[in-house]
Structure 1
Amino acid sequence: MQKNQMSQMIVYGILQLVMIVLAGILGFHFTREYSLIPKAIIHLPDVYVSHSDYIQVLTIFFIGYILQLIASNLIYKQAAFSSLKRFMNEYIHYLFAYTTVSLYIFLATTINYDPQFIAAVGLFSTVLYWILGVIILVHNKESGVAQFFGTLIKRFLSVSGVLALVYFLVPLGLGKAFSSDRDIANKITQVRIWFNPVAETDWGFKNFIPGQVFHQPVLAKQAPDDDNNIYVLERFGKIYKINAVTEAKPELMLDISSELGEVEVENGAVGLAFHPAFNFNHTDSRKPYIYVYFTDTRPTGYQRNRLTRYDLSQQSLEERNNSGQTVLDLHREDSGFHNGGSVEFGPDGFLYVALGEGVHPKVAKSYQETMRSGILRIDVDMNEELSNPAQPFKHGVIANYMVPKDNPFIGREDIRHEYWALGLRNPFRISFDVETNDLWVGDVGSTVWEEINLVEKGFHYEFPKIEGDNDKGTQANDLGLPDKGPVYTYQHTAYDRAVIGGVVNRSDNYDQLKGKYIFADNYSAKIFAFDAASRKVENVEFLARANQYAQRGVSSVTQLRGGEILITTLGAASEPSGEVLQLVKASEATVTVEEGKEEEIPKDYDEQITSALFNVNCARCHGVKGDGDSPDAAHLGVALPDFTSPLYHFKTSKKQMLEVVNKGGAQTGKSPLMPPWQGFLKPHEIEHLIIYIESLPAKHHHH
């Protein structure tokens, strides 16, 4: 190789490296202010990219591009801009390198992947590449401007050019799919976890109720004075009682699924509290009540967040279901997000209710008009010596409680008197330290921060003006209240992104964790700990990761009176696969990540082909979406199932669906209008149709 050629390679290589770094800088700052891809074309989520993630992205592109330059120069043995043909080959190589680096960032790192930012790097680097190519090649009389772009178009029409362009769009498509399809998100998260395995620790999990799965369990708790049983609350509105000693079959204690409406987004039954006198020995003083916090999406015009008391002493399930007494029935916006959820009786006997900032109708947002974005403290025993009647409430129904006289905002006209603390975004899980009575709150953040707060009477916790550790600058609230930041906060990574508040361990069962606050992240399913005596925490201890993650991850961390720390994992929305796990020493662990995997889909399953099969054979009755809304629905005279509803799939097993499709309605107790497809469709086609129908709730949820 001639010395002149070597010099050209070095000079042009440096120019190209400067170009890719400059494209990264421009892309980052541009997408902090503007959307490169309008939401009207492709709706991509808003993603926070931290400064450290930004530097990592630039570094990875820089290294990837160095490797590409070395490979190109070794193959062609001449500089990238030495001729028009050489430049076109170089640019195609660049596209392959760019896409490969993008996929590496997305699949193999914990960087918070922003499709807009990555797409901007591609756009700006391409524009800079073309400008640099035109300037150098025209200056060296290797090409004219028209010839340059004419040759570029021809190169794109070649086989390698078309492949490069198709490959170039893959990261954008994956980013879109990741944000809009739960199944794809779970698969991608599995790949990320495989590339980024967690370190081995002293801790793991075992099934607390071996062999038992639940339909999206959100909470596992004990009732007062009953150490043998635990109660599991499912997101779809059922509460089961399980004897942890005998391992008998779970007993269904309550089923309010008919009161919830559609369970999607962050909706459903999410909170459960037992009255302190639930199992009181003296019958006259016993109060066998549970308080369930759930969403109700059925009303037209407005949706509701409800806190209802049920009497579990009633003999039959129907009587228990019908024993509900309203405590709170709050109008809310229709998005389904930020409901809060925890309800806990404090050591003072009052009920504490955690409400998210989404619990308000559009017309009302102030702390006087609504109950939202904070912690309430109410007296459900209605002790007139300790409490006052509640103020009138316009946007919903309040009943069967009074307001403690020592609540912090008694006497204020601009804040409802039920409030104990304000300024929380989405306090999903709260708990009291059994030793100090401190109230700990896991506050789910937006696109950047997650928080653990130690909540005190009368304080404001800075939302919406401040999240995480942002510089205050000004007072965090306009109410003249003392404000307080989090004890611990963390920024989102690729899969640490949704905090689940936990418990302070005071049990000798976990001697290494004595006095530590144990909490989780829903998305990554990691369990963490820090010293509960600390009032500002920078680093936490990683304990273990559960077997299900992404949207199927941890939903609660609780502790039994015997000391056992339990976590619930949601599992799939379409079928019971959630579990109640116990944190144990690694030597006792029985649960592995593989247990949380989904049922294998046959390799020959093609969703596009099966969708067409459904549309041809099923859609005329069942609707194109599978929701029963079809041209013939009004004329059939029977109620058609809604395949897009998770409730349908909860009540109907795969075996039942296969039987109906194979044998038809007449032979299976359904409508004779449903024909038997056995013999008309091949066995594998029927099996694929069931897989497709089972996927419809996720598709309906996002589209």
Structure 2
Amino acid sequence: MTQKSSKIFAISALIQLLIIAVTVVLSYRFTQHFSIIPKSVLHLPDVYVSHSDMWQIVKIFVITYALQIGLAYWRNGSSAFVSKQRFANEYIWFLYAYTTASLYLFLATTINYDPQLIAAIGLFASAFYVLAYVLFSRLAFGNGIFAGLFGGIGAMFTRLFSITGLLALIYFLVPLVMGKAFTSNRDIANVITQVRIWFNPVETSNWGFRNYLPNLKFAQPLLVRQAPGDDESLFILERGGRILKVSSTDSIEAQVVIDVSASMGEVEMENGALGFAFHPDFADPQASKSYLYLYYTDTRAEKQQYNRISRFELTSADASVNTASEMILFELVRNKSGFHNGGSLEFGQDGFLYIGLGEGVHPPEATTSAEVFRSAILRIDVDMDPTRSVPIDKPFEYGTAQNYYIPKDNPFFDNDAIRNEYYALGLRNPFRFKFDSQTNALWLGDIGSTIWEEVNRIEIGKHYQFPVVEGRKESGVEGWENLNLPEQGPVYTYEHNAYDRAVIGGIVNRSDAYPSLKDKYVFADNYSAKIFVMDSDKQQVEEVELIARANQYAQRGISSVVQLNDGKIIVTTLGAASEPSGEVLHLVRADQANVFREEKDDTPDGYDPKATAAMFAVNCGRCHGVKGDGNGPDSALLGVPLPDFTSPLYHHNTSSEQIHKIIVEGGMAVDKSPMMPPWGGFLKPKEIDHLVTYLESLPDQHHSH
């Protein structure tokens, strides 16, 4: 290498590295306010990337491009801008480096992956790269600006249509396709999350998990409880609406005691059975209060959907008898989106029932706390004791509110802007909460939006600042009402990363069963399936300790953290939506942890239409519609007509083999839209066979109704 060529190479290399660094920063700023990919073309969710993460992305891209520049020089023997042909070759290397950096960011870091940001980096970097070639060739070689511009672009496009150029373009699209798949499919998200966790392993811990019910798997278990007076049995709530009783840890069969699945409709999004609680006097034969209270969603009607809280009498061995005893307390008209329902039901030491409701529990036309129940904790008297409570004194327009009284010491009796049932407000999605058995403090996990998760200690009459503040930062969103209440921030808050993104409230451990965790608050993150502990005696906590992680991640992760009467800490993991694979796990010392039962990949004995319908709704319903009629909520955004699987004409023209090929290989395999991704690598062969059978059954189901 001559001195002159060395100088030219050094200058061009510095220019390229400066381009990519500036491009990442500019793209970050741009995508804070604008979208590179229009939602009409591809609907992508909002993704939060912090300022510190942005600088980490700069580092990743600069290092990757430094390697690319060196390899390109070694391969071509000259700097990038000496000629238009050399520039075109360099651009192919440039695309490979861009894609490699994007995939590394996506798969090997904990940074949130934002397809809009990645697309912006690719677009802006390409534009700046062409501009740099034009200016460099002008200054170094005296070439004309327009000649350099059109010559460089022409050479670049010519090079792109070579075999290696086309391969680079295909590789270039991989991160965007994976990003879309990650946000729209729970099974893909689970696989990618496992890859991320492999690249970012948790440090060796003193804690692990044993399968507490090793002979049983459940269909997305949401919560485990013991009934008062029964230390042997466990009651497990499945998302599909069943409550199962397991008599011992060695049981090979679970007894169904309640089944409200017929009252629920499709279980998708955040819908389904959400939480349950036993009456405190459940075991007292003289009280005759063998009651169980259940919170579930009803999506059967498209126009009028409800979130329902009901009481059931658990007096029979026949589940149908128990289910038929339903007495409705709340039937709340809801937002059809299906998100942010809340879900906890807990009895306090005062005997009153506390209910956690998310901010989505309201019809579009009503939002305030004087009109609806939402974004809060309610406190009611299900015993309707006139010495402690008063009857409901305000009509409720948006549903049903009945069969309870309101405690006299609820905080808002003198506030016309807030219904009397409210205990605390300003929560986004209080999915799990629990009382501290020693202090009676109510500890709550509040699932956040795109940036912050919160752990709150709830106090009577307080407002917890949503939607104006999330975490400890103002959100820039105005509140839907001005209540002038005393406000309180979280005890602990954490920022989203690639897989810590959905807090699950837990318990304060007062048991001697875990001496080193005594007096610690134990909670989880659903997505990463991590278990954390923190001090419970501080008003504000900045650091928590990660102690364990369960074996299922992403949308299959942890759904509850509970403590049994003997002190054992138990978690539930959801598992797949397509088949029973959720588990009940016991937190134990690492040397007592076991290997979890492996999933078998053999074909089941029979086709289960209900399980396959649930799998279709979760994985396909966003585009194809939960009914399979092609009218999913995202269908209008795809820009292509979607088939109507309920039409006999579609199946007359499409064979079983063609449907199977489309599912396995994607739309492009049969000359259809590439918007239909291939599922062969993510669904099991038996699941795909069952999907074909299910799709072919839809015309009969549709026309029989």
Same fold (TM > 0.5): yes
Shift of 1:15: 1.1
Contact 2:270 2:340 in 1 (8 A): yes
SS in 1 for 2:32: helix
Partner of 1:392: 395
Partner of 1:673: none
Contact 2:569 2:587 in 1 (8 A): yes
Deviations 1:300-326 (A, max 9, x none): 412100000000013522211100000
The residue type paired with residue 181 of structure 1 is N
Output the TM-score relative to the length of structure 1.
0.85
Are positions 1:417 and 2:420 aligned together? yes
Among residues 565, 568, 574, which one is paired with 2:569 in the alignment? 565
The residue type paired with residue 325 of structure 2 is S
SS in 2 for 1:309: strand
1:185-584 mapped onto 2 (5 Å cutoff): 185-244=189-248, 247=251, 249-280=253-284, 283-390=285-392, 391-470=394-473, 478-584=482-588
Partner of 2:154: 150
Contact 1:378 1:401 in 2 (8 A): yes
313-322 or 193-202, which deviates more? 313-322
Are positions 1:166 and 2:170 aligned together? yes
1:45-84 mapped onto 2 (5 Å cutoff): 45-84=45-84
Q: Structure 2 unaligned runs (5+)?
A: 604-615, 617-626, 631-641, 653-658, 660-683, 697-705
d(CA) in 1 for partners of 2:203 and 2:477? 41
SS in 1 for 2:581: coil
Contact 2:213 2:249 in 1 (8 A): no
The residue type paired with residue 348 of structure 1 is D
d(CA) in 1 for partners of 2:442 and 2:189? 34
Q: Structure 1 unaligned runs (5+)?
A: 602-610, 612-620, 636-642, 644-684, 698-703
The residue type paired with residue 305 of structure 1 is N
The residue type paired with residue 498 of structure 1 is A
The residue type paired with residue 453 of structure 2 is E
The residue type paired with residue 401 of structure 1 is Y
d(CA) in 2 for partners of 1:349 and 1:382? 11
Deviations 1:248-296 (A, max 9, x none): 632111111101111000000011000000001xx33130000000000
Partner of 1:629: 646
Partner of 1:690: 689
d(CA) in 2 for partners of 1:129 and 1:353? 57
The residue type paired with residue 493 of structure 2 is T
Shift of 1:689: 5.0
Contact 2:455 2:491 in 1 (8 A): yes
The residue type paired with residue 382 of structure 1 is M
Contact 2:645 2:695 in 1 (8 A): no
d(CA) in 2 for partners of 1:565 and 1:29? 44
Contact 2:643 2:650 in 1 (8 A): no
User: Does the C-alpha gap of structure 1 residues 522 and 157 become closer, same or farther in structure 2, counting only changes over 3 Å?
Assistant: same
d(CA) in 1 for partners of 2:569 and 2:36? 46
SS in 1 for 2:648: coil
Contact 1:426 1:443 in 2 (8 A): yes
Among residues 564, 589, 592, which one is paired with 1:588 in the alignment? 592
User: Does the C-alpha gap of structure 1 residues 102 and 367 become closer, same or farther in structure 2, counting only changes over 3 Å?
Assistant: same
User: Does the C-alpha gap of structure 1 residues 64 and 440 become closer, same or farther in structure 2, counting only changes over 3 Å?
Assistant: same
SS in 2 for 1:369: coil
Shift of 1:243: 1.4
d(CA) in 1 for partners of 2:74 and 2:576? 50
d(CA) in 2 for partners of 1:31 and 1:498? 24
d(CA) in 2 for partners of 1:438 and 1:345? 13
Partner of 2:11: 11
d(CA) in 2 for partners of 1:571 and 1:580? 11
Shift of 1:558: 0.4
Percent identity between the aligned chains? 51
d(CA) in 1 for partners of 2:401 and 2:273? 19
User: Does the C-alpha gap of structure 1 residues 66 and 430 become closer, same or farther in structure 2, counting only changes over 3 Å?
Assistant: same
Shift of 1:543: 1.0
Contact 1:574 1:694 in 2 (8 A): no
Partner of 2:703: none
Contact 2:84 2:151 in 1 (8 A): no
The residue type paired with residue 469 of structure 2 is I
d(CA) in 1 for partners of 2:15 and 2:649? 65
The residue type paired with residue 79 of structure 1 is S
SS in 2 for 1:376: strand
SS in 2 for 1:459: coil
d(CA) in 1 for partners of 2:628 and 2:281? 50
Deviations 1:452-473 (A, max 9, x none): 0000000000001000021599
SS in 1 for 2:514: helix
Are positions 1:90 and 2:90 aligned together? yes
Deviations 1:127-166 (A, max 9, x none): 0000111222244145543333222221111111111111
d(CA) in 2 for partners of 1:204 and 1:525? 12
d(CA) in 2 for partners of 1:18 and 1:546? 43
d(CA) in 1 for partners of 2:368 and 2:313? 34
SS in 2 for 1:198: coil
Shift of 1:474: 12
d(CA) in 1 for partners of 2:477 and 2:153? 54
d(CA) in 2 for partners of 1:556 and 1:531? 20
Contact 2:290 2:313 in 1 (8 A): yes
Contact 2:133 2:148 in 1 (8 A): no
The residue type paired with residue 216 of structure 1 is Q
Contact 2:87 2:152 in 1 (8 A): no
322-331 or 151-160, which deviates more? 151-160
The residue type paired with residue 388 of structure 2 is L
SS in 2 for 1:278: coil
SS in 2 for 1:690: helix
Q: How many residues align?
A: 627
Question: CA RMSD of the aligned region, Å?
Answer: 2.6
The residue type paired with residue 260 of structure 1 is M
SS in 2 for 1:365: coil
Partner of 1:37: 37
SS in 1 for 2:470: coil
Partner of 1:105: 105
Contact 1:427 1:444 in 2 (8 A): yes
Shift of 1:88: 1.3
SS in 1 for 2:572: strand
The residue type paired with residue 456 of structure 1 is E
User: Does the C-alpha gap of structure 1 residues 626 and 79 become closer, same or farther in structure 2, counting only changes over 3 Å?
Assistant: closer
Contact 1:443 1:453 in 2 (8 A): yes
User: Does the C-alpha gap of structure 1 residues 472 and 57 become closer, same or farther in structure 2, counting only changes over 3 Å?
Assistant: closer
